[in-house]
Amino acid sequence: MNDAVDVRFLPSSDGDLAYLDTGSGDPVVLLHAGYVDHRFWYRQLPALTDRYRVIASDVRGHGFSANASRPFRWADDLAELLRRLDAGPAVLVGVSMGGVIATDTVLEHPELVRAVVTCGAATGDFRYTDPWHTRLQAEYARTLGAGDTEGWLDAFVRVVAGEHRTLDAVDPEIPRRLRELALHTIAKHTPDEPDLLVRVTDSWSRVPKIDVPVLAVNGGLEPAELLAAADRLAREVPHGRAEIVAGTGHYPNLERPAEFNDLLLGFLRDL
């Protein structure tokens, strides 16, 4: 797994933002899921860096990036990074929280985005209202509030299995790595610190204006509501399609990397 030696730092208006910048070619930006960091993409980087310039950032408050000290938006942080690295327009590839960052950014900074790939996500409007994410956040808040770090980590890694399996059905290397990354991130925070994220709103109404190609890839074992939202995203943009990786949960890029990578590389080749 990559460590801090590989990470570069961009001084931002509110602390340093960490990122990898490797390979050469057209820029592809990898946006990780919540509570982890750029190392989440360890099963994609080798497949991409031979053909593309790959930027894998640590979202503010995650991994090696600074915590927020004042209100911020994910899309604005990413836009600052892309502009400073002269890396736009780029293809944005995001899983879960990263997928929301991708759709936020194409809505708020369309000039920086060439195409979007989402996985385990649709738009911020969906993420903050659907029952599955609401239940997850309630469990995370309960365990962290009780100081139960192990309970929080258990709840976090169970997400990889989806709603219809136990972790026994998943390669044990995946939850092990997720626990390691998540522990690194939550150690940077305290349960009582304020949430300074400013959410992008009214996204569904603006989705039809997204005029770049969009690919929504999801695990077949995701909750029905999430799959329906991903289908809606792919249907309502002018150039969208949805794909399912059967037999996987929230992180098909980790469970079935060959299949996920083939879908991603095929999408990139067709741009």
Q: Could you tell me the CATH number of the domain that includes residue 206?
A: 3.40.50.1820
In a domain, 174, yes or no: no
For the chain, the first-to-last Cα distance in angstroms comes to: 30
pLDDT of residue 2: 46
Report if residue 11 sits inside a domain: yes
Contacts of 109 (CB under 8 A, 6+ apart): 75, 76, 78, 79, 82
- For 140-149, the pLDDT digits (tens) are 777 777 777 8
pLDDT at 128: 66
Asked if residue 93 lies in contact with residue 28, where contact means CB atoms within 8 angstroms, the answer is: yes
Residues 6+ apart with CB under 8 A from 242: 215, 216, 217, 218, 230, 231, 233, 234, 235
Q: How high is the mean pLDDT of the chain?
A: 92
Tell me the HSE value of 24 on the side-chain side, using a 13 A CA sphere. Answer: 0
Q: How many domains does the chain have?
A: 1
Residue 148 lies inside a defined structural domain of this protein: no
Q: What letter would DSSP give residue 130?
A: S
Domain of residue 118, residue span = 4-128+195-269
In a domain, 173, yes or no: no
Assess if residue 244 is contained within a domain.
Answer: yes
Given the DSSP bridges, would you call strands 8-12 and 15-22 parallel, antiparallel or unpaired?
antiparallel
Q: What angle do CA 203, 221, 199 make, to 5 degrees?
A: 20
Structure tokens at 173: 């290397």
* pTM tops 0.85: yes
| 16-49 pLDDT tens trace | 999 999 999 999 999 999 999 999 999 999 999 9
* Higher pLDDT pick, 150 / 103: 103
Count CA within 13 A, CB hemisphere, residue 54: 24
**186 within domain boundaries:** no
Q: Is residue 12 part of a domain?
A: yes
Q: In what order do the strands lie in the sheet with 90-95?
A: 8-12, 15-22, 53-57, 27-31, 90-95, 113-119, 214-219, 240-245
In a domain, 120, yes or no: yes
